[in-house]
Amino acid sequence: MFVDVADIIVASGKGGDGAVSFRREPFVPNGGPDGGNGGKGGDVLFVADRNLRTLMDFKYKKKYKAEAGQNGMKSNKYGKKGQDLIIKVPVGTVIADAATGHMMADLMTDGARFVAAIGGKGGLGNSNFKNSVRQAPNFAEAGVVGTERSVTLELKLIADIGLIGFPNVGKSTLLSVSSAAKPRIADYHFTTLYPNLGVVELANTGFVMADIPGLIEGAASGAGLGFDFLRHVERTKALIHVVDISGSEGRKPLDDFLRINHELAAYSAKLTKKPQIVACSKTDIADPESEDYRALIDHLTKEGYTYYLISGATKQGVQELLNGAVELLSRVESETSEIEDAARRAQRLEVLPAEREADYRDICIERVGTAFVLSGKQLKKIFDSTNFNDSGSVRYLYKHLEKSGAVKRMKADGLAEGDTVRIYGFEFEYYDEERE
């Protein structure tokens, strides 16, 4: 089965917690702090692998999680970093955020990689919180929780030439006689239900040709195999438009040609700009004197299209068509440099707005009855690190609320001494130190 779209969930590893530990040393309170820092959580990376052909593996496994960082240890020993999770995908895979549709990476070269979720930072051990006043901190920092994200993987085949046209016009036959590929061929519609690739080898060169599933009218709106067809056309450098010039399906050849180009334009204006040559197929059963035959030839000549009269069954004109395809590819070398530039951009780490530092530090304040309810990513981390039996640890939490501006914002909203402040289920009464 050819699978070219998959939705999965990726989660980076949680950072290890800092350790609370004290060494035994005379005349030092509690022996002096020596808790080590936690290790960073593992990242989730996608890596393009040319040996893979489909996204089949992602049909059965939907969630992927990297290893968590190790907690810190006594004697100022750091926790081990969590192992990164490497997910291999076929070359040509596009990675997008499932919630927003935002494209994060386009892995178009073998070995290209993208970090989809960054591991959580390890928490600081209690030795980091010692100062001249707080000699024996009895608290440490919790590791940052890893990032969880739903992503959509979409495979777009990378081929030099794409064969386009209505079903049963001879695309699969052309691929089979031009390369070693063995696509399914039969005398009924939609025998090609997924793309087939073939390497065309000529005397001094060669290229990759893709037989892409045929489409019907309305494909740009998703009808038939529309989207399955059109997503793969986007990645090709040039097109061979196969038209049944014999009209064996009961349709007019010129109408077929115009309808296919209309669907390309309706899906994306970019597709209409791709270089295109025309293969007038099934000439072995066509009548060159028929009105429909002449109408197509006259239109192609008038519009300046390069066309070839071919027959897959007898191989007539096939070699000339392939030679023409090579010449066409030589004229679109600029497309190659564009692909390489896109591949280099894809290897950059791209952070979505939801993960920006400003959002991480933000504190959300809600008024629920007479209580002020606080939440936030960094606040949650500090809250999880707080030892509520230790005054120094609680003081550290309060100082964070002050520095972040949360206290000032609550006062502007009517916070008064004795009011309830709630942080992740923990409630306390606000006491205004400035009144002392």
The CATH number covering residue 49 comes to 2.70.210.12
Using the predicted structure, report yes or no on whether residue 382 has a pLDDT greater than 80: yes
CA triple 156-161-167, angle to 5 deg: 80
Say yes or no: 145 and 247 in one domain.
no
Say yes or no: 142 and 172 in one domain.
no
Per the structure, the count of domains in the chain is 3
Provide mean pLDDT across the span 103-115.
Answer: 89
Tell me the torsion sign for CA atoms 125, 128, 133, 136. Answer: positive
Q: pTM value? A: 0.61
Say yes or no: 133 and 222 in one domain.
no
User: What pLDDT is attached to residue 338?
Assistant: 56
Distance from C-alpha of 210 to C-alpha of 162, rounded to nearest angstrom = 5
- Number of H helices and E strands in the chain, helices first, is 12, 18
Sheet containing strand 307-309, edge to edge, reads: 196-201, 206-211, 161-164, 238-244, 276-281, 307-309
Say yes or no: 216 and 328 in one domain.
yes
User: What pLDDT is attached to residue 226?
Assistant: 43
In a domain, 211, yes or no: yes
Contact 242, 165 (CB under 8 A): yes
Out of 8-22, 90-104, 121-135, the most confident range is: 8-22
CB atoms within 10 A of CB 146: 26
At a CB cut-off of 8 Å and minimum separation 6, what does 382 contact? 141, 142, 396, 397, 400
Say yes or no: 199 and 264 in one domain.
yes
* pLDDT tens digits for range 92-101: 899 999 988 8
* pLDDT tens digits for range 145-155: 888 999 999 88
Residue type, 115: V
Say yes or no: 317 and 386 in one domain.
no
User: What pLDDT is attached to residue 83?
Assistant: 96
Lowest mean pLDDT among 157-171, 191-205, 268-282, 371-385: 191-205
CA dihedral in degrees (355, 360, 363, 368; nearest 10)?
50
In a domain, 131, yes or no: yes
Say yes or no: 141 and 167 in one domain.
no
Contact 307, 300 (CB under 8 A): yes
104, 138, 155: which is the final residue of a domain? 155
* pLDDT tens digits for range 14-45: 999 999 888 877 776 667 889 999 999 999 99
Lowest mean pLDDT among 13-17, 159-163, 304-308: 159-163
Residue 359 parent element (H or E):
helix 357-361
- Is pLDDT larger for residue 230 or for residue 90? 90
Distance from C-alpha of 264 to C-alpha of 230, rounded to nearest angstrom = 8
In a domain, 347, yes or no: no
Provide mean pLDDT across the span 311-324.
Answer: 91
Out of 157-161, 198-202, 211-215, 301-305, the most confident range is: 301-305
Residue 58 lies in domain: 5-155
Distance from C-alpha of 193 to C-alpha of 230, rounded to nearest angstrom = 13
pLDDT over 90, % of the chain: 31
Closest-CA residue to 366 (of 424, 417, 418): 424
Backbone angles phi, psi at 328, to 5 degrees: -65, -45
User: What pLDDT is attached to residue 433?
Assistant: 61
Using the predicted structure, report yes or no on whether residue 422 has a pLDDT greater than 50: yes
The CATH number covering residue 381 comes to 3.30.300.350
User: What pLDDT is attached to residue 43?
Assistant: 95
Say yes or no: 149 and 186 in one domain.
no
Say yes or no: 261 and 226 in one domain.
yes
In a domain, 67, yes or no: yes
335, 368, 392: which is the final residue of a domain? 335
Say yes or no: 187 and 319 in one domain.
yes
Lowest mean pLDDT among 44-48, 82-86, 109-113, 136-140: 136-140
Say yes or no: 176 and 85 in one domain.
no
